[in-house]
């Protein structure tokens, strides 16, 4: 695993954007696996700036997102479809018909089938990841068993706690979500994780030690042959990571 130490959030955003830019320039028709959450927002802003000011071209790029809440329509301001539109897609020259975020309302079984069919025929060039405080990836929550393909998850209380800051109250946070499975994530050609915020426990398990632990799904990243982690210096120092 390659670990990049960033001086601060903005520096991390630029360094992560460098990797995405390199892939988009080398392969203009690449497929990006994208993530939501506050960690990648700065990178999305930087990519939008490079599109606007430096001609970084997304016109042939496709994307697929990690996850979506069950119960929120794509027009809901806390849905991940809405997040992607407002944080990235509306600001770059990507064709929205080439972007896929699973649907969280309607026939959930049918939505999952569609999600899996799309993942089965998609070769993700790079998967962007944040990490939950409990080590979840997408919405793959800690447990004795992790899943290969896209599936529905019941969210841990700690996940609902962590995500309630985006909602009016904790009761408004959906309790279920559709997510890519760990297999889908691990089959991406490259992984790019941005660790930001209070993620001491997950960062320690990921970066220090040698365990692959289903009770901390992000540790599976250690097994990927082309994984990059961007972490802020402050957090790296807090957990005693020395490289
Ligand atoms: C949600 C998303 C995850 C994301 C996590 C961390 O739970 N499903 O994919 O990694 O939030 O979010 P943040 O970057 O805001 O800490």
Mean pLDDT score, 49-54: 98
Please tell me the predicted confidence (pLDDT) of residue 243: 80
Tens digits of residue pLDDT in 93-122: 999 999 999 999 999 999 999 999 999 999
Q: What is the pLDDT of residues 57-105, one digit of tens each?
A: 999 999 999 999 999 999 999 999 999 999 999 999 999 999 999 999 9
For the question of whether the overall pTM of this predicted structure is more than 0.85, the answer is: yes
Q: What's the pLDDT at 209?
A: 81
Q: What residues make up the domain containing 63?
A: 2-237
131 pocket-lining for ligand 1 (C-beta < 6 Å):
yes
Domain count, the chain: 1
pLDDT digits (tens, 9 = 90+) for 141-192: 999 999 999 999 999 999 999 899 999 999 999 999 999 999 999 999 999 9
From start to end of the chain, where are the E strands? 2-6, 31-34, 62-65, 67-69, 99-100, 126-129, 151-154, 176-179, 190-195, 227-232
**Is 217 close to ligand 1, i.e. is its CB under 6 Å away?**
no
Q: What is the pLDDT of residue 88?
A: 98
Q: How far is CA 159 from CA 150, 169, 171, 221, in A?
A: 19, 14, 13, 20
Which residue's structure tokens are 């799309």? 118
Which domain CATH number covers 50?
3.40.50.1360
Alpha carbons 146 and 39: distance in angstroms, whole number: 23
Instruction: Please list the residues that pair with 2 across neighbouring strands.
Output: 228
For the segment 225-243, the average pLDDT, to the nearest whole number, is: 95
Residue 181 in contact with residue 148, Cβ under 8 Å? yes
Per-state percent for the chain, helix, strand, coil, to nearest 5: 40, 20, 40
243 is a domain residue:
no
Residue 75 inside a domain? The answer is yes
232: in domain: yes
Would residue 127 count as lying in a domain?
yes
**Residue 190 located in a structural domain:** yes
Tell me if 139 CB under 6 Å of ligand 1: yes
The predicted pLDDT at position 90 comes to 98
Per-residue pLDDT of 182-221, as tens digits, reads 999 999 999 999 999 889 999 999 999 899 999 999 999 9
CB 197 near ligand 1, within 6 Å: yes
Closest ligand 1 atom, CA of 155? 7
Residue whose CA lies nearest to ligand 1 atom number 8:
138
Please give the pLDDT value at position 242. Answer: 86
pLDDT at 169: 94
């Amino acid at each position: 695993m390659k670990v990049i130490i960033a001086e601060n959030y903005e520096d991390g955003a630029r360094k992560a954007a460098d990797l995405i830019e390199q892939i988009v320039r080398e392969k203009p028709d690449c497929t990006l696996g994208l993530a939501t959450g506050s960690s990648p927002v700065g990178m999305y802003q930087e990519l939008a700036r490079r599109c606007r000011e430096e001609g970084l071209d997304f016109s042939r790029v496709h994307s697929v997102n990690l996850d979506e809440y069950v119960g929120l329509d794509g027009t809901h301001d806390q849905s991940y479809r809405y997040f992607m539109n407002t944080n990235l897609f509306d600001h770059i020259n990507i064709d929205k018909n080439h972007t896929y975020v699973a649907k969280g309302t309607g026939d959930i079984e049918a939505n999952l089938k569609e999600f899996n069919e799309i993942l089965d025929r998609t070769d993700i060039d790079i998967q962007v990841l944040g990490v939950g405080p409990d080590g979840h990836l997408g919405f793959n929550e800690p447990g004795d068993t992790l899943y290969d393909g896209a599936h529905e998850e019941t969210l841990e209380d700690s996940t609902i706690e962590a995500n309630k800051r985006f909602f009016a109250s904790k009761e408004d946070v959906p309790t279920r979500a559709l997510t890519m499975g760990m297999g889908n994530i691990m089959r991406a050609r490259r992984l790019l994780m941005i660790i930001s915020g209070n993620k001491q426990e997950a960062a320690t398990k990921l970066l220090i030690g040698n365990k692959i632990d289903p009770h901390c799904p992000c540790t599976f990243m250690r097994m990927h042959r082309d994984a990059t982690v961007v972490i802020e210096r402050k957090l790296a120092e807090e957990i005693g990571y020395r490289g």
